[in-house]
Chain A
Amino acid sequence: MARPIWHGAINFGLVTVPVDLYSATEDHTISFRQFERGTSDRIRYKRVNERTGKEVAYSDIVKGAEIGGGEYVIIEPEELDRIAPGRSRTIDISSFVDLDEIDPIHYQKTYWLSPSKEEYGKAYGLLLQAMRKTNRAGVATFVMRGKEYLTAIRAGDDDLLLLTTLLFVEDIRDPAKEIKSLPEITTARGKELDLAISLIDSMVDDWNPHDYHDTYTQRVEQLIEDKKQGREVVAGEEPSSPTKVVDLFEALSKSVESRKKRRSGSAEEKVDLGSLSKAELDKMARELDIKGRSKMSREELEAAVAAASGARRAS
């Protein structure tokens, strides 16, 4: 069981709901330790006083802000807390917006909010259901570890409120200042544009995150396993070469053709539902618009998909 990363309360009009904040995501990539080559000596970072060279304990560290000329003002954690009166422990919802209005460039990290005591469940549930009904996200700010966060709070599928931290506009760079030569977009030729659009259309699919897995990390794990077993290490595939600009029209035509062939081929295949994973069945259930699919077990999904696709074939 994870421990909350923060305690506080959601302020929503005159309603206050005490909540705990938990990380909803984690980085699953393999974290390597560092060694000096040729030795079994670990590399460690040490936090030392630069004058004495001695290690400094957490409780003995204060923060200093440079004010120029090599001078610093020292600030204690309590002083930082004090200038955020009341706010340091509350998530203040200031407005409700349509989630689609928020450009994904702002999204940072997502957390779960859960009522900090059972008795707050009623108010929490009310807020969750009202947000679900209106399909709106609450825009809120709060302070955690001496930093103010802009956030969007929404009702998740698991009957939990989700809080996603958002970048402030000040955090988003101006491309004109960062990119050496911005692309000059000339109006695309009608035929090429039509072909490119039909290629996109032929690749349209529902977003199903279960279709995507971190194959690179899987390969790193395999590499580690192989080296452990003393097996030969196999190199990865070469990346495909980019299309030559002159071939744009031809490349597009060929792509559309091959997509069409693939589509007609796969439609004739008969699917053995028993061999599919829950994620694959879930995807089919979504395509067939089967109600209540998110709460079904693998077996229930298989039965529902079989029934729905059978009915569709018969009609």
Chain B
Amino acid sequence: MTCVDCVAGVEHCHGTLVGSEGCTEPGCEDLSADRHPLVIEAAEVDSPRHLVATAA
């Protein structure tokens, strides 16, 4: 499926923003919510169902 934001040529990130902590996209520097279509709230991060933090 093509990404609507890629088609529109607007600034966005394909990672999931994790609260204000970080992003799943390794090179992502700008952690503002408005450039992340996928955001997971900080409260949800405690729940291990969605994400795992691993030492790479």
Contacts and interface: CB of A to CB of B under 8 A. Distances in A.
A46 interface: yes
Given A3-B11, A31-B29, A45-B18, A144 B51 contact: no
A58 B36 CA distance: 11
A4 B10 contact: yes
A146 B10 CA distance: 15
A60 B3 CA distance: 11
Interface in B17-41: 18, 21-24, 26, 29-32, 34-35, 37-38
Contacts of A34: 22, 53
Size class of the A contact interface (CB-based, 8 Å): 20 to 34
A47 to B, nearest CB: 4
A5 B51 contact: no
A67 interface: no
A4 B51 CA distance: 30
B35 A5 contact: yes
The listed residue with most B CB atoms (<10 A of its CB), out of A43, A44, A109, is: A44
Interface of B: 1, 3-4, 8-12, 14-16, 18, 21-24, 26, 29-32, 34-35, 37-38, 49-56
26 contacts: A3-B9, A3-B10, A4-B10, A4-B11, A5-B10, A7-B8, A26-B32, A27-B31, A31-B29, A39-B55, A41-B56, A43-B55, A44-B24, A44-B53, A45-B21, A45-B24, A47-B50, A47-B51, A50-B49, A50-B50, A57-B14, A58-B15, A58-B38, A61-B16, A77-B4, A109-B34
Interface of A: 2-7, 23, 26-27, 31, 34, 36, 39, 41-48, 50, 57-59, 61, 77-78, 81, 109, 144-146
